[in-house]
Structure 1
Amino acid sequence: MLSKAVLSQTEVTRILAAARAEAQANNWAVSIAVVDDGGHPLALERLDGCAPIGAYIATEKARTSALGRRDSKGYEDMVNGGRSAFLSAPLVTSLEGGVPVLVDGQVVGAVGVSGVKADQDAQVAKAGAAAL
Structure 2
Amino acid sequence: MAAKITQAAFDEAERDGLFISVTIVDKSGPTLAVLRHHNAGVHTLRAIYKKAFTACSQKRDTATIAKGDKEGNIPEDIRFLDENILIMDGGIPIVIDGQVVGGIDVGGAHGSEDVRAAQAGLTALEN
Deviates more, 1:107-116 or 1:78-87: 78-87
Query: Runs ≥4 in structure 1, deviation > 3 angstroms?
Result: 82-89
Contact 1:62 1:110 in 2 (8 A): yes
- Structure 2 CA distance for aligned equivalents of residues 130 and 105 of structure 1: 16
CA contact (8 A) 1:75 1:93 kept: no
Kindly report which structure 2 residues correspond to 1:1-132, keeping only aligned pairs within 5 A, or say none.
Answer: 11-82=1-72, 83-90=75-82, 91-132=84-125
Structure 1 position 79, deviation (Å): 2.3
Query: Any unmatched runs of 5+ in structure 1?
Result: 1-10
The answer for unaligned runs of 5 or more in structure 2 is: none
Structure 1 contact 45–55 (Cα < 8 Å) conserved: no
TM-score by length of 1: 0.85
Please give the alpha-carbon distance, in whole angstroms, between the structure 1 residues aligned to 2:7 and 2:77.
Answer: 37
Q: Is the 8 A contact 2:21 2:107 kept in 1?
A: yes
SS in 1 for 2:8: helix
In the aligned structure 2, how far is the partner of 1:109 from the partner of 1:23? 21
Matched residue count: 122
For 2:81 and 2:102, the matched residues in 1 are separated by 20
Does the residue aligned with 1:16 lie in a helix, a strand or coil? helix
Residues 58-88 of structure 1 show CA distances to partners (whole Å, capped at 9, x for unaligned) of 1111001111111111221122214544443
Query: What is the TM-score of this pair, normalised by structure 2?
Result: 0.88
In the TM superposition, what whole-angstrom CA distance separates every residue of 1:96-123 from its partner, at most 9, and x where no partner exists? 1011111111111111111011111111
How far apart in 2 are the matches of 1:115 and 1:96?
11
* CA distance, structure 1, for counterparts of residue 10 and residue 67 of structure 2: 26
Work out the CA distance in 2 between the residues paired with 1:40 and 1:56. Answer: 13
Give, as a single letter, the amino acid of the residue that structure 2 aligns with 1:31. Answer: S
Q: Assess if the C-alpha contact under 8 Å between 1:96 and 1:119 holds in 2.
A: yes
